[in-house]
Amino acid sequence: MNQDLLFAIAIFVLAVLVGFEVISKVPATLHTPLMSGANSIHGIVFVGGILIAAAADSPLSYVLAFVAVVFGAMNVVGGYVVTDRMLQMFRRRPSAPAQSEGARSGSGGSAQ
Amino acid sequence: MSQEWVYTLVFLAWLLGASLFVVGLHFMNSPATARRGNQISATGMTIAVVATLVYLASQGALSPTALAIIVVGFVIGGGVGLWLARTVAMTAMPQLVSLFNAVGGGAAALVAIDDYLRVLGTAEETVSTAVFVVLGVVIGCVTFTGSLIASGKLQGIVSGKPILVPGGRLVTIALAAIAVLGFIGLVFGAGGAIALDETAKLVVLGIVIAAALVFGVTMVLPIGGADMPVVISLLNSFTGTAAAMAGFVINNPVLIVSGALVGAAGGILTKLMADAMNRSLMNIIAGGFGGGEGTVAEAGPGGTVRELTVDDAAIQLAYANLVIIVPGYGLAVAQAQHALRELADVLEARGVEVKYAIHPVAGRMPGHMNVLLAEANVPYPQLKEMDEINPEFERADVALVVGANDVTNPAARRPGTPISGMPILDVDKAKSIIVIKRSMGRGYAGIDNELYTNPKTGMLFADAKKGLTELTAAVKAL
């Protein structure tokens, strides 16, 4: 095997270990947003779609690249927006319970 | 700038993007920083995409056709994704995530297929390329159809019940065998150990693709709707792995790192979910117990059920000191989270302390209930996780169970039932219990809930939304 491939395998393994560590600390309450967040990260295949679009040289590969770009873009854009929509709602309202209606139109929901 | 410098800068930008994914995931550890974490991750993605475009432009590799494909594809795919993400109801979130997961897996498979077609018959067609191509194609295709079926099951397009076809298992095993044989054929074909011409290789690849696509369907169909969250999480992990394989194929570090991260993340998350439901992954994949939507059954032997009127329930709630609300799947289905919050507000205005007990698998996915309640503006600090709230049930005057079933069944503490060992909420320890439920239907586990025949329990038979609205009105009228 060539050197590049060995290095690539090394970073793959290390990234897997980082993934285990980062995830194992997340509380259960955030699991759905987390799944959605991780889902948007694998939207990185959009970059793969861009690269094969640039390398495409036949009608078939143009079609494959186009579908890959569409799919990847949908994964990335939809994934991040939907995750943000979920997380936007994790915010505390002011301590007085009576204020419940006021908090609804809160300032874009910056979490405290 | 020389080409080498450009590549170095682009490589560093990719590395920065990947690092931001890690940092972003890290920030998602806590509700307070989670949103920022997602934004950091999105920034990483933007950097990675822009760096890629800059790199290609500097190489002169962006032909007008390629640019058109990228721009039009981005507008279409991104537009559809944006529209869905903005408009879909919060209760439909899990199936949307599954849909995005499906297209991600499909994209990874396409990248691998395309690269294989390009290198086929050239010196670049090495054993390692063939290994990663076939892995990427198989995992990506399985994820694509599997996630679509999972999404369809949650959306109700495909039946949530396990669909068992006679001999279906054999078909699944046969498909897996075909994929493995195809893998061996293409890998040894690339190494020259098996003499295959290009046409034969394309045919083999086509067979592998078809087998993987059908495998995704036959793998998910027999699994009941209750297990879908775990399946979606597993498929999410698969997509990450497929993206990493695609990264190996096109030799791109950012795909490898990000895909590996998600592969590991999804794996851990899948295990956590399966643990919380006391299911092993093997059991789920093999399609064990549980028939999806609860079947209606009259109260089984072993106790009578006490029915409450709305007014009785309202009085109990209004004069309690501490009410613990246990929301479940039924609340999500009835989209009653706003009605629940209104009831809680009315109670709080009367000085009643209200807390929410969230079982790890309440709703359709771990954390799903938190999202729904957050949407209804329930303050995050009132949401208590199982371990935190269980000791408090003894102190609670009323436990109000809305659409939750198996996670409250005391039978789980005894051995010998399908849910034995599953961690449950100690609802039966509260001084009194009110259960809002449409019928005596069983939960996913398909067994009677002993909580309902507990003498302390009163049943309020109603749709969650209707029942809660009536309760709120009754409390206000007191």
Q: What is the mean pLDDT of residues B193-209?
A: 87
Q: What pLDDT, on the 0 to 100 scale, is given for residue B28? A: 86
Residue of A nearest to B109 (CA): A68
Label residue B300 by pLDDT band (50, 70, 90).
very low
pLDDT band at B293 (very low <50, low <70, confident <90, very high): very low
CB–CB of B29 and A38 under 8 A? no
Establish if B391 touches chain A: CB-CB under 8 angstroms. Answer: no
Task: For residue A59, give how far its alpha carbon lies from the nearest alpha carbon of chain B (Å).
Answer: 11
Yes or no, beta carbons of B256 and A89 under 8 Å apart: no
Residue B55 has pLDDT above 80, yes or no: yes
Average pLDDT, chain B: 86
Decide if B257 and A15 are in contact by the 8 Å CB cutoff: yes
Question: Who contacts B38 (Cβ-Cβ below 8 Å, separation ≥6)?
Answer: A33, A37, A40, A80, A83, A84, A87, B24, B28
Which chain B residues in 213-232 lie under 8 Å from chain A, judged by CB atoms? 232
**Contact present, B42 and A80 (Cβ < 8 Å):** yes
Q: Which residues of B touch A72 (CB under 8 A)?
A: 77, 103-104, 107
Within an 8 Å CB–CB cutoff, is residue A63 touching chain B? no
The better pLDDT of the pair B300, B224 is held by B224
A92 interfacial to chain B (CB closer than 8 Å)? yes
SS3 content of chain B, % helix, strand, coil (to 5): 65, 5, 30
CB–CB contact A18 B261 (8 Å): yes
pLDDT of A24 reads 65
Confidence of residue B43 (pLDDT cuts 50, 70, 90): very high
Contact B25 A38 (CB under 8 A): yes
**At CA B237, angle to CA B94 and CA A79, rounded to 5?**
45
Q: Model confidence over B410-423: pLDDT tens digits?
A: 888 877 777 777 78
Contact list in A for residue B96 (CB cut-off 8 A) is: 78, 82
Per-residue pLDDT tens digits for B92-134: 888 899 999 999 999 999 999 999 998 888 888 888 889 999 9
Decide if pLDDT at B37 tops 70.
Answer: yes
Give the model's pLDDT for residue A108: 38
DSSP state of B295: P
Whether the pLDDT of residue A83 is over 70: the answer is yes
Q: Which residue has the tokens 């929301």?
A: B327
- B384 - beta bridge partners? B357
Nearest CA in chain B to A81: B85
Shortest Cα distance, chain A CAs vs residue B170, angstroms:
31
User: Which of A82, A13, A9, A45 is CA-nearest to residue B264?
Assistant: A13
Nearest CA in chain B to A25: B29
For the stretch B396-410, pLDDT in tens is: 999 999 988 888 888
Q: What is the model's pLDDT at position A94?
A: 42
pLDDT of the residue at A101: 39
- Residue A21, pLDDT > 90, answer no
Catalytic hit among B406, B426, B428, B448: B406
CB contact under 8 A, B38 and A90: no
User: Which pTM value belongs to this model?
Assistant: 0.78
Tokens of B266: 């999804």
A111 within 8 A of B33, measured Cβ to Cβ = yes
Residue-wise DSSP of B152-187: HHHHTSS-SS----TTHHHHHHHHHHHHHHHHHHHH
Q: How many angstroms separate the CA of residue A108 from the nearest CA in chain B?
A: 11
Q: What is the pLDDT of residue B205?
A: 93
Residue B213 has pLDDT above 70, yes or no: yes
Assign 3-class secondary structure to B58-124: HCCCCCHHHHHHHHHHHHHHHHHHHHHHHHCCHHHHHHHHHHHHHHHHHHHHHHHHHHHHHHCCCCC
User: Does the annotation count B406 as an active-site position?
Assistant: yes
CA dist., res. B107 & res. B265, Å (int): 20
CB contact under 8 A, B88 and A82: yes
The H or E element spanning position B467 is: helix B464-477
Q: Is the pLDDT of residue B297 over 80?
A: no
Q: Do B264 and A15 make contact, defined as CB atoms within 8 angstroms?
A: yes
For residues B310-320, give the mean pLDDT.
88
Asked if B116 is an interface residue toward chain A (Cβ–Cβ < 8 A), one would say: no
Closest partner CB to B78 (pick from A24, A77, A104): A77
How many interchain CB pairs under 8 A, A with B? Answer: 396
Please tell me the predicted confidence (pLDDT) of residue B291: 40
- Residues 57-76 (B) with a CB less than 8 A from some CB of A: 61-63, 65-66, 69-70, 72-74, 76
Mark yes or no for CB contact B255/A48 under 8 Å. Answer: yes
Interface test with A, best of B43, B120, B262, B343 (most A CBs within 10 A): B262
Q: How many angstroms separate the CA of residue B189 from the nearest CA in chain A?
A: 17
d(CA B326, CA B306): 19
Residue B257 pLDDT grade (very low, low, confident, very high; cuts 50, 70, 90): very high
Q: Tens digits of per-residue pLDDT, B320-366? A: 999 999 998 788 878 888 899 999 999 999 999 999 998 877 776 76
* B260 to A16: CB separation less than 8 angstroms, yes or no: yes
Partners of B307 in the beta sheet?
B459
Is the CB of B108 less than 8 angstroms away from the CB of A45? yes
Mean pLDDT calculated for residue range B52-80: 93
